[in-house]
Amino acid sequence: MSDIAALTTRIERLEHELAIQQDIHQIRRLQYTYGYFIDKSQYNEVVDLFAEDGEVWFLGGIYQRKAGVRRLYIERFQKNFTQGHNGPRYGWLLDHPQMQMVIDVAADRSAAQLRGRSMMQAGLHHTAEGQQRAWWEGGIYENSYVREDGVWKIKALRYYPFWHGSFAEGWAKTPIDFIPMARTLYPQDPLGPDKLMDPQPRLWPATDIVPFHYPHPVTGKPIVPDNSRAREGFRDHESRSR
Amino acid sequence: MSDIAALTTRIERLEHELAIQQDIHQIRRLQYTYGYFIDKSQYNEVVDLFAEDGEVWFLGGIYQRKAGVRRLYIERFQKNFTQGHNGPRYGWLLDHPQMQMVIDVAADRSAAQLRGRSMMQAGLHHTAEGQQRAWWEGGIYENSYVREDGVWKIKALRYYPFWHGSFAEGWAKTPIDFIPMARTLYPQDPLGPDKLMDPQPRLWPATDIVPFHYPHPVTGKPIVPDNSRAREGFRDHESRSR
Amino acid sequence: MSDIAALTTRIERLEHELAIQQDIHQIRRLQYTYGYFIDKSQYNEVVDLFAEDGEVWFLGGIYQRKAGVRRLYIERFQKNFTQGHNGPRYGWLLDHPQMQMVIDVAADRSAAQLRGRSMMQAGLHHTAEGQQRAWWEGGIYENSYVREDGVWKIKALRYYPFWHGSFAEGWAKTPIDFIPMARTLYPQDPLGPDKLMDPQPRLWPATDIVPFHYPHPVTGKPIVPDNSRAREGFRDHESRSR
């Protein structure tokens, strides 16, 4: 191979690998901006972050394509949280700090995956109208992204809330099945998902590991969750409560 | 164009774009280090992070140039928080975790902008001297940076505290106008700012969106905050309290 | 120098500097994954993140080499936290969000250092078996990493817990010496460390600065902690309690 050909090969490789670092930067921005938008109930702006065939996994349900994404953010959240307004309302806190993002871009740069987390502060100020509540919440994301015409978009936002705790009582006292999982599909439930997650997740005090999209960083082996004891306290509790 | 000229062009572009990724890394370090310093009341070290014409936006006031930056950190915070000491004092917590940084470097690499956030834990241990208090606090940064002689410095640190909540009562019970905004300029107020922010911010339970320095990551359009309902509960409350 | 030689030099430099950005990405992944594993008591997977001569600094003790690392994670934590199980147990929360990572890779890419932090949520659900407790915790990491056969591993995980606070009472009321420091070495204490940290750290309400592995980002000078007032309240308190 000539000198020129050899240098060209090295330059091509550099261009590709630098582009992947730039992709990581753009995907981090995309997910972080999702966080900033959702903090402030900028739901139209959230919907615009998704690809046309994007989807959201939320509390046991899967909302599919732009129509499903809109149903969740605009018809459900915007109605419930901000009285139909696309923007923040007085006295409603919903902070979703976005943290600990592990991002992997496919070799052909068409797709990417991300594991991340949030630790929320949420609730209503006592001078604002509505049901009084204040809570902490921790959860994991395992998301997918797609690059279309050079622009990264959310392909699947999969949020796995893990624990909730009221501001007063915390995670030690969270009621079992504190927030109900989706049961009824759209359109029977006009705000329901298009599909149910399978298997159905279970909230804290269940402690299931959300599967990792990537292998162990040192051994390179798949990370195999052992969830055999993640739900074993429910039995007793549930039998006691019947 | 010769082969050599074509390869040189590609290499120049790689050098420029890699340098921007390195800049992002340095700016992240700069802001994170600000966080570590401010946690531990290392105020001299904080002041050294700023450019000569740097400034700080804080609670409605703007502290300008090194003299203003020093007034805020050394004369105000160091006196109030650590009894005049440049370093941590026994029993005083002021943790400022720095999170969710969206960083944009100008094409000519002379300047940069950052949106980020913090979620603070602060207060005094009951065995330490001083006014007993313990609080949580969430806020947004929209900062500017400048590169001088190859070194990135803070040009403008703009901190927008959003919510406060006492450890005991939380964000649901925060008193209206919990922390007063700056009203009087320096030197009339010897610890006052050089200018007032315009418009004046308002604390939680107001929920105004801090303007974004960057466009929507998918549509590329400006992000237009709709704050029309962000303060609408104040009216009632204020009239009730008069 | 010929054109080809000059371009080759620039390409070599690009390859080296891009590799360092990729290293930073891998080290961030390594530390973040440590966080995800430790959240869920995946202790075998944690141990596999370490180099053979790796070590952990924890509560005044140093656990050395794989044998020491295993003693801490498998024999101590796994026994205490998850009843001997390698994975999460029902109703046990131990979330360690990993944040604010400042990463520096050595010029020869054989080693790296990281400053980071965590802000934990931990405790037991009231329906789970065991001692009822729920706490917040903040701490700093100053870690080392090593690259072996192209794979980044943890060389030293140095965790400096800074403050603890129960969910009910918070950081203002933390008992002095809330968690005891290591005193007895292995094998006299079968779960003890191989060495003691020197100097011995002290927990909140002490406020000592953990030394920085890197210089001031603007001045380039060493960051010199002044901890002269970080423990000065203990004297009174300790004399009162005797």
Structure confidence by residue, pLDDT tens digits, A84-111: 999 999 999 999 999 999 999 999 999 9
Q: What's the 3-state SS for chain B? A: CCHHHHHHHHHHHHHHHHHHHHHHHHHHHHHHHHHHHHHCCCHHHHHCCEEEEEEEEECCEEEEHHHHHHHHHHHHHHHHHHCCCCCCCCCEEEECCEEEEEEEECCCCCEEEEEEEEEEEEEECCCCCCCCCEEEEEEEEEEEEEEECCEEEEEEEEEEEEEEEECCCECCCCCCCCCCCCCCCCCCCCCCCCEECCCCCCCCCCCCCCCCCCCCCCCCCCCCCCCCCCCCCHHHHHHHCC
- Express as a percent the part of chain A with pLDDT over 90: 94
Q: Which helix (H) or strand (E) holds C20?
A: helix C3-39
Rounded CA separation A236/B205 (Å):
42
Determine the residue of chain C that is closest to A5 in CA distance: C4
Q: What are the chain B neighbours of A127 within 8 Å (beta carbons)? A: 176, 205, 233, 236-237
- Cβ contact C204–B33 (<8 Å): no
Rounded CA separation A176/B164 (Å):
30
Chain C contact for B157, CB < 8 A?
Answer: no
Chain A contact for B7, CB < 8 A?
Answer: yes
pLDDT tens digits, A128-153: 999 999 999 999 999 999 999 999 99
Instruction: Judge contact between C176 and B127, C-beta under 8 A.
Output: yes
Determine the residue of chain B that is closest to A90 in CA distance: B230
List of chains touching C (3+ CB pairs within 8 A): A, B
Instruction: Give the closest of B165, B207, B225 to A92, CB-based.
Output: B207
Q: What are the chain C neighbours of B116 within 8 Å (beta carbons)? A: none
- Cβ contact A32–B219 (<8 Å): no
- Cβ contact B125–C233 (<8 Å): yes
Q: Which of residues 211-230 of C touch A (CB under 8 A)?
A: none
Chain C contact for A111, CB < 8 A?
Answer: no
- Cβ contact C207–B129 (<8 Å): no
Among C166, C170, C171, C193, which residue's Cα sits nearest to residue C182? C193
- pLDDT score, position C242: 42
List of chain B residues with pLDDT < 50: 242
Q: What are the chain B neighbours of C225 within 8 Å (beta carbons)? A: 40, 42, 87
Rg of chain A (C-alpha set): 21
- Cβ contact A15–B10 (<8 Å): yes
- pLDDT score, position A240: 53
pLDDT tens digits, A174-214: 999 999 999 999 999 999 999 999 999 999 999 999 999 99
Chain B contact for C237, CB < 8 A?
Answer: yes
Among A55, A57, A61, which residue's Cα sits nearest to residue A192? A61
Q: What are the chain C neighbours of A21 within 8 Å (beta carbons)? A: 18, 21-22, 25
- pLDDT score, position C49: 98
Instruction: Give the closest of B99, B171, B176 to A97, CB-based.
Output: B99
Q: How far is B236 from chain C (nearest CA, A)?
A: 33
Give this prediction's pTM: 0.97
Please report the domains of chain C, with CATH numbers, ordered by start residue: 2-232 (3.10.450.50)
Instruction: Judge contact between C192 and C186, C-beta under 8 A.
Output: yes
Chain A contact probe: residue of C36, C66, C99, C154 with most A CBs at under 10 A: C36
Determine the residue of chain B that is closest to C231 in CA distance: B90
SS3 call for C7: helix
List of chains touching A (3+ CB pairs within 8 A): B, C
Q: Which of residues 177-196 of C touch A (CB under 8 A)?
A: none
Instruction: Give the closest of A4, A40, A99 to B99, CB-based.
Output: A99
Q: In a structure prediction context, what are the per-residue pLDDT tens digits for chain C, which is 242 residues long?
A: 689 999 999 999 999 999 999 999 999 999 999 999 999 999 999 999 999 999 999 999 999 999 999 999 999 999 988 889 999 999 999 999 999 999 999 999 999 999 999 999 999 999 999 999 999 999 999 999 999 999 999 999 999 999 999 999 999 999 999 999 999 999 999 999 999 999 999 999 999 999 999 999 999 999 999 999 999 999 777 755 54
Q: What are the chain B neighbours of A14 within 8 Å (beta carbons)? A: 14
Tokens of A151: 């622009």
- pLDDT score, position A242: 41
Q: How far is A220 from chain B (nearest CA, A)?
A: 27
Q: What are the chain B neighbours of A35 within 8 Å (beta carbons)? A: 100
Chain C contact for A108, CB < 8 A?
Answer: no
- Cβ contact A42–B223 (<8 Å): yes
pLDDT at residue A235 greater than cutoff 90: no
Rounded CA separation B94/C186 (Å):
36
